[in-house]
Amino acid sequence: MLHIEDLHATVADKPILNGVSLDVPAGEVHAIMGPNGSGKSTLAYVLAGRPGYEVSEGGATFNGRDLLAMEPHERAAAGLFLGFQYPVEIPGISYLQFLRESLNSQRRSRGEAELGGGEFIKLAKSQAALLGMDAEMLKRPVNVGFSGGEKKRAEMVQMGIMSPKFAVLDETDSGLDIDALKAVGAGINRIMRAPDKGVLLITHYQRLLDYVEPDKVHVLRSGRIERSGGPELALELEREGYAEAEA
């Protein structure tokens, strides 16, 4: 489903990714763990196409298509979703308008019919309810005045509405209290656990993996996958830290 081969990337001419190779087949959840500065967020941004994140070598395909040749909005329409570590505030635009226009833009480029106002509001309300978010918040400007935890929950509501094929979730668990963590974990399982979907879960900590059990765990360090293993690798890292795990 997602195939990354020898991916090198620079940010402001500084090499950050130094040859990442990774395969996430359909139906699987892979976790990427690693110390600060190892390149986790850079990998997420490169996959989503953030300007300024330059690929210098290697490549990535998504369901056989050249992912890196696509514009960010084309990646979204192809079914890729990035859950932001720091969701962005957009004053003056309500969440409902933002998501309806985004979703309909995706649907147009896939040749699907757009959702009408009533239909969309129904979808948005049901997804908000499933994530334990007050639907009234969707009337407010995008992320303005939201707490850190509310922003992360809202990212998952967005994912529920978009129902992507593949989600790259960049530290979606940071800034969450235990109840929010459970709700977010349940949301990821409900929305993304399916034979034709995949997830790349970027996290510092084992705790989200208690709720979303990964099929594989990879350790990213210095811009390379240093180790890969099963769920037990996350437990080992949690117990021993990145330094010991390396030794």
Partner 1 sequence: MTAPFPTHKQEEWRYADLEALQPVWEQFAEPVTLTVGAGEQLEEIWLPVADDVQLRRVQIALGEGAKARIFALNTAPVYGRIELEVSLAEGADFELYAANIGGGLSTNEIVTSVKHVGPGGRSRQVIRSVLNGKAVGSYLGKVDVAPGAQKTDGEQSVKAMLLDRGATANCKPELEIFADDVKCAHGATVGELDAMQLFYAESRGLDPAGARALLLEGFVMGLWDSAKESDAICETAREALRRVV
**Site for partner 1, rule CB under 8 A:** 48-51, 71-73, 75-77, 82, 84, 87-93, 97-99, 101-103, 105-106, 109, 141, 158, 162
CB of 141 to partner 1, least distance (A): 7
By beta-carbon proximity to partner 1, the closer residue of 18 and 105 is 105
CB of 129 to partner 1, least distance (A): 21
Pick 92 or 195: Cβ nearer partner 1: 92
53 vs 181, beta carbon nearer partner 1: 53
CB of residue 81 vs partner 1: minimum separation in angstroms?
8
Structure tokens at 2: 């997602």
CA-to-CA distance for 222 and 17, rounded, in angstroms?
Answer: 7
Which of 111-140 are b and which e, b meaning 16 or more Cβ less than 10 Å from the residue's Cβ? eeeebeeeebeebbbebbebbbbebebbee
Angstrom distance (rounded) from CA 175 to CA 152: 8
CA atoms of 164 and 81, how far apart (whole Å)? 6
Tell me how far, at minimum, the Cβ of 198 lies from partner 1, in Å. Answer: 17
Distances (CA, A) of 97 to 85, 115, 207: 22, 12, 34
Q: In the complex with partner 1, which residue's Cβ is closer, 63 or 97?
A: 97
Q: For residue 103, what are the CA distances in angstroms to 127, 183, 192?
A: 14, 23, 17
Q: Rank residues 58 and 141 by Cβ distance to partner 1 and give the closer one.
A: 141
The minimum distance between CB 196 and partner 1, in angstroms, equals 19
